[in-house]
Amino acid sequence: MIQILLADLAMSLDNVLAVAGAAREHPQVLVAGLLLSITLTGVAAGYIAKLLHRFRWLGYLGLAIVFYVALHMIWEGHRAVVIDLHKVEAYNALTPDALDISTEEAKARHHQRQ
């Protein structure tokens, strides 16, 4: 029972991150994705728990994917906030050149928001 609860918790976090990343700024997609995700997780929880118990490496792979997606969302979100606050020049002055926000990226962000 504990393994199933832990698998449900892990899958829930994974699903929320995946749906939030895919939905971006579309709340309807977020709600629909979460409803679908919750339904599928509930239906498949026992099977997935057995699969994770048999192939433990899948759990680690899933963890690595969730970690990557979370870091990517933090990175992109940070850059979006810098652009939205019109602090690109100050940000670029403080960061190494490889991490700078280009003019094209800032323009693309402004066009996305309109």
Residues 6 or more apart in contact with residue 16 via CB below 8 angstroms: 34, 37
| DSSP string covering 25-65 | T-HHHHHHHHHHHHHHHHHHHHHHHHHHHH-HHHHHHHHHH
Span between the terminal Cα atoms of the chain, in Å: 48
Tens of pLDDT, residues 52-105: 889 999 888 988 888 888 899 899 999 999 999 999 999 999 999 999 999 999
Is pTM beyond 0.75 here? no
Domain boundaries, the chain: 1-54, 67-114
